[in-house]
Amino acid sequence: MKVSVLIPTKNEPLINELIEEVHEVLKGYEHEVIVIDKSDVSPEIKNAKLVVQKSDGLGKAILEGLPHVTGDVIVTMDADFSHDPKDLPKLIEEIDGHDIVIGSRFVPGGRNEDKMYRRFVSFLFTKIASFILNLRVEDSMSGFAVIKRNVYEKLKLNPIGFKINTEILYKGKKLGFKTTEVPIMFRKRKAGKTKVGVSFSGLKEGFRILRYVFELKLGLR
Ligand SMILES: Nc1nc2c(ncn2[C@@H]2O[C@H](COP(=O)(O)OP(=O)(O)OP(=O)(O)O)[C@@H](O)[C@H]2O)c(=O)[nH]1
Ligand SMILES: [Mg+2]
């Protein structure tokens, strides 16, 4: 098994610290790190493959990273330390026997340390998406996932905005891919600025998620 860690990043000051920690945690695994960058000023990336993103959005960043992947197991994680690299081994171990492993804030043992209103909003949107799409998982939107490469190859993905895993889970369920959830602690970003948060762009992202969910349901994506 070779693990490819995809890290979409947009103006994240701690990206190189994160890369180092990922290498440290995964030193027992054959692995690679691929950063898909959409920063205003491209950062100097050390010890990882750098892909400069041409499209927009987090979901599309993952798609732009895929052609560079040489591993058979793909990790996606945020670049702001909200997803703890130390959780990687327990997620990766579960891929044996599953196709999709979700790092979940909402299963027993999982936690969300985000601000109160953000916790409420993400819980609400996740519930709405699960209900409409009949997903049998508690957390389709954490963004932290380990997914076999052949899952990406078999699904025709067409994401908008942030939530590509919701689409993967929905389309993957139809093809009978085996999914499981592993509890994670989702932390507040360690540094840098939010790309969503409160504000107009947060609201816009909320509406975008709803549109995305309905389009998936209606087979328009
Ligand atoms: N490549 C790429 N990365 C992005 C884009 N938008 C966001 N990101 C990255 O995706 C991850 C998640 O974005 P965040 O801004 O942390 O979103 P969030 O976790 O919901 O909100 P906060 O952590 O509270 O700011 C981070 O690593 C961002 O740098 C994008 O358009 N392209
Ligand atoms: Mg974040």
Domain ranges for the chain: 2-217
Q: Tell me the average pLDDT across 196-219.
A: 82
For 24-82, the pLDDT digits (tens) are 999 999 999 999 999 999 889 999 999 999 999 999 999 999 999 999 999 999 999 99
Strands annotated E in the chain: 2-9, 30-37, 49-52, 73-76, 100-104, 111-112, 145-148, 179-183, 185-186
| Strand-pair partners of 164 | none
Q: Whose CA is nearest to atom 13 of ligand 1?
A: 195
* Pick from 66, 86, 67: nearest CA to 76: 66
| Angle, alpha carbons 156-170-109 (nearest 5°) | 130
With cut-offs at 50, 70 and 90, classify the pLDDT of residue 204.
confident
Q: Is the pLDDT reported for residue 198 higher than 60?
A: no
Query: In degrees rounded to 5, what are phi and psi of residue 174?
Result: -60, -35
217, 129 contact by CB (below 8 A):
no
Tens digits of residue pLDDT in 97-153: 999 999 999 999 999 998 888 888 889 999 999 999 999 899 999 999 999 999 999
Please give the CATH topology (third level) of the domain spanning 2-217.
Answer: Spore Coat Polysaccharide Biosynthesis Protein SpsA; Chain A (3.90.550)
Pocket test for ligand 1, best of 6, 10, 162 (most atoms within 8 A of CB): 10
Q: Tell me the CA–centroid distance for residue 143 and ligand 1, in Å.
A: 10
- Closest-CA residue to 209 (of 117, 152, 132, 112): 132
pLDDT of residue 199: 59
Is the entire prediction scored with pTM above 0.85? yes
Going by pLDDT thresholds of 50, 70 and 90, the confidence category of residue 7 is: very high
Pocket lined around ligand 1, Cβ cut-off 6 Å: 8-10, 12, 36-38, 53, 56-58, 61, 78-80, 82, 189, 194-197
Beta strands in 77-172 (DSSP E): 100-104, 111-112, 145-148
**Best residue among 77, 80, 160 to mutate for probing ligand 1, ranked by most atoms within 8 Å of CB:** 80
